[in-house]
Amino acid sequence: MKKIIDFSRFSSIKAGAMTEVEIIDSMSWNKEGYFIVGAASNLLVTSNTKKLARLSKEFDYIKIEGDTLVIGGATSSGKILSFAKKHNIANFEFLSKIPGLLGGMVKMNAGLKEWEIFNHLISIKTSSGVFNKSEIVHSYRHTQIEAVIFEAVFELSFGYSNELYEKFLQMRQNQPKLPSAGSCFKNPLPHFAGKLIEDVGLKGAKIGNMGFSSEHANFLVNHGNGTAQEALELIDLAKKLVLDKFGVFLEEEIIII
Ligand SMILES: Cc1cc2nc3c(=O)[nH]c(=O)nc-3n(C[C@H](O)[C@H](O)[C@H](O)COP(=O)(O)OP(=O)(O)OC[C@H]3O[C@@H](n4cnc5c(N)ncnc54)[C@H](O)[C@@H]3O)c2cc1C
C-alpha cells in the first residue's frame, strides 16, 4: 500500500516535498533501499528522490509482558508517557517534550542529557532479526541500526515520578514554540552548538521564512511557509561561519533527505 505525504504539513518543521511513501503493514517486510519515516520530528525532506516507507497503525501498541514493557515502532512518545503515568511505570518521564514514534526514538537514541531511550532498553525486533542492546552500537543521539525497527522491549520498573516529569518540563522552558525539528546540530563537545551559532551572530538570523531561533539558537524554526531550501542555506552558513571562526565542525542532528 502507498500513500502521498506532504512533508510541508506532516513534518514538525512544516517544510519539505510532497512524496509517495510505502506503508509497512507486517513484520515480514524486508525490502531494500528504503528510508524509514517515523513522525518526521527530526527530518528535513528536501526532495523526493529517495524511496520512503513508514510503519502502519498495526505497530502502534504498548503492553506489559511479565517484567517487560513491549512497545510497537509506531507508538508515539505521548502515548508511551500516558501509559507510563497510568500504570505507575518509571523511566519514561523524559519523553514529555520529545516528539516522535518509538522506531525513530530508538534509531536516534533520543533523550535529554543523560536520560536516553537506550538506558532501559533490552532488545529490538527489526527487519534483520532480533538484537539485544549489547549487540547494538549506540552513543549520544546515534545508533548504527540500518534495519526497520518493528518493536522494542524495555525493563519494567514501577514508580512514575511526577517530580521528574516537572523537572523535564522546566528544562525545556526555553524551547521555541515555532515549528522546528528540534536541535539542528549535535553539540560538538565540549562546545555547545547553540552558543557557537550565537557567537557567529546567527541567533535570530533568517533566510526567507526560516531562521535560527532568537530563544535558542540551535533550533532552526519555521516562521511560516519557510522552505527546505532556506533551511539548507542556513545550515550551510552556520557550518561555514563556525568552522572559519572557531575551527569547529558542526554535525547536523537533523536528518536531511
Ligand atoms: C520541538 C522538538 C523537540 C525535540 N527535542 C528533542 C530532545 O530533547 N531530544 C532528542 O533526542 N530529540 C529531540 N527532538 C528530535 C526528535 O524528537 C527525535 O529525534 C525523535 O527520535 C524522532 O522520532 P521520529 O519518529 O519523528 O523520527 P523521524 O524524524 O521520522 O526519523 C528520524 C530517524 O529515525 C529513523 N526511523 C524512524 N522510524 C524508524 C523505524 N521504525 N525503523 C528504523 N528507523 C526509523 C529515520 O529513518 C531517521 O533516520 C525534538 C524534535 C522537536 C520537533
Model-wide pTM > 0.85: yes
Q: What does residue 153 show for φ and ψ, rounded to 5 degrees?
A: -115, 130
pLDDT at residue 9, as a whole number: 95
Q: Ligand 1 atom 10: the closest Cα is on which residue?
A: 110
Q: How, if at all, do strands 121-126 and 219-222 pair?
A: unpaired
Can you tell me which residue has the cell 518493528? 150
Give CATH for domain 175-256. Answer: 3.90.78.10
Strand order in the sheet with 129-132: 62-65, 68-72, 149-155, 121-126, 129-132
Ligand 1: does its nearest atom lie under 6 Å from the Cβ of 257? no
Ligand 1: does its nearest atom lie under 6 Å from the Cβ of 184? no
194, 196, 195: which is closest to 248 by C-alpha?
196
Q: Ligand 1 atom 36: the closest Cα is on which residue?
A: 104
List the catalytic residues. Answer: 141, 183, 253
Q: Ligand 1 atom 1: the closest Cα is on which residue?
A: 182
Give the residue extent of every domain in the chain: 2-56, 59-167, 175-256
How many CA atoms lie within 13 Å of 42's alpha carbon, on the beta-carbon side?
A: 25
List pLDDT tens digits, range 174-220: 889 999 999 999 999 899 999 999 999 999 999 999 999 999 999 99
CATH 2.40.50.140 given to domain 2-56: no
Architecture of domain 59-167: 2-Layer Sandwich (3.30)
232, 138, 252: which is closest to 188 by C-alpha?
252
Cβ atoms of 160 and 201 within 8 Å: the answer is: no
Cβ atoms of 19 and 48 within 8 Å: the answer is: yes
List pLDDT tens digits, range 157-187: 999 999 999 999 998 888 899 999 999 999 9
Q: Which residues pair with 115 in a beta bridge?
A: 112
Let me know how long the chain is: 257
List pLDDT tens digits, range 37-60: 999 999 999 876 789 999 999 999
